[in-house]
Chain A
Amino acid sequence: MREFLTESVLFGAVLSMVTYGIGCWIKKKIPHPMVNPLLISIALCILCIILLKSDYETYYSGAQYIGYLLTPSTICLAVPLYEKFELLKKNYVALLCGITAGAVGSMAVVFALSMLFGLEHTEYVTLLPKSITTAIGMGVSEELGGYPAITAAAIMVTGITGNMIAETACKIFRITDPIAKGIGIGTASHAVGTSKAMELGEVEGAMSSLSIVVAGVITVIFAPMFAPMI
């Protein structure tokens, strides 16, 4: 029975969807911004895989089919971007200032904390590109001599954190402008954060999408300058 469950190609896909469904159900019962369907789903998936004595490989052989939609889905972020293009043109100075401050700030914070924790060069450059989208971030990490797999893990933790704290952080720090919210969320936590921004509103989503692209580019340019500092 257990073998049948875990060896079926649909096991991973079904597990992902059902756990996400449970996450949404819990969110409906407890509508707190920190209750996060994505995190609940990930935790339940890992728990099920361990309890069924299966492994990630088996899970992923089915779940990857869900992941295939990620590229088309990311590309669709261009649609809200297009629909809010006038807003984008009107505010481009503010957007560029905000994203640059965030992207450079991200690397500065990683630098400061790495110094504080006494991390080595390799560990430091592994974390440098942690705020940008996985595909660019892993490339930057590899180029600087970091561990791309750990960069990917750090990027995920960043995304999930951003997704979870977005609403609370904007409220506490009085970020009320929807454009500013979107830029903050997207610059800090790439596409995973953007999926939260999309739920907050169209403007937030469009601005967050824009931040993924621009923050990625800025990080590619500035990371090599930050790298030799430790």
Chain B
Amino acid sequence: MKYLKQMGIISCIAFLGEIMKAILPLPVPANIYGILLMLGALLSGVLKVDQVRETSNFLIEIMPILFVPVSVGLMDSWEILKGSWIQYFVIAMVSTMVVMVVSGKVTQFVIQRKKGDREDA
């Protein structure tokens, strides 16, 4: 019963996200509204973490497999892709590596500098 109730709450928030997407004229997908709604509900205390914890842990844990169905769809994009797939592939791979390192390094740099400042003071 507990899981059903938790799943119900999460589904309600997902549905509210869908409604917001339908109403608001912004290029924001429903799941982003959903994250913000859920975060807002938790921060404001409307929703307690205990009311969703187990189910949300479960859903997060199984997340990788949820990407399998859509990703297998790559086999259908092949027709359009095959002309310049090497370029696309190289761009996708290289930029991913660069972004990961740049983003991580910049974050780490700022955090460490801030720590340094505090130690100096």
Question: Which residues of A line the B interface, CB within 8 A?
Answer: 12, 16-17, 19-20, 37-38, 41-42, 45-46, 49-50, 56, 59-60, 63-64, 66-67, 69-83, 85, 91, 93-95, 97-99, 101-103, 105-106, 109-110, 113-114, 117, 119, 123, 127, 130-131, 133-136, 139-140, 143, 147, 149-150, 152-154, 156-163, 165-166, 169-170, 173, 175-177, 179-181, 183-185, 187-189, 191-196, 198, 205, 209, 211-213, 216, 220
Q: List 16 A-B contacts (CB under 8 A).
A: A16-B65, A45-B68, A46-B72, A70-B31, A73-B60, A75-B38, A76-B52, A95-B107, A98-B110, A113-B94, A114-B91, A134-B70, A153-B81, A156-B71, A162-B100, A177-B112
A79 touches B98 (CB 8 A): no
B68 touches A189 (CB 8 A): no
The interface residues of chain A, by DSSP majority, are classed as helix
Q: Does B88 contact A (CB under 8 A)?
A: yes
Interface residues on B, range: 35 or more
A19 touches B68 (CB 8 A): yes
- Residues from chain B with a CB closer than 8 A to the CB of A82 are 38-39, 42-43, 49
Complex CA distance for A77 and B34, rounded to whole angstroms: 10
Choose among B10, B81, B91, B93 the residue that contacts A72 (Cβ–Cβ < 8 A).
Answer: B10
**A62 → chain B closest CB, angstroms:** 9
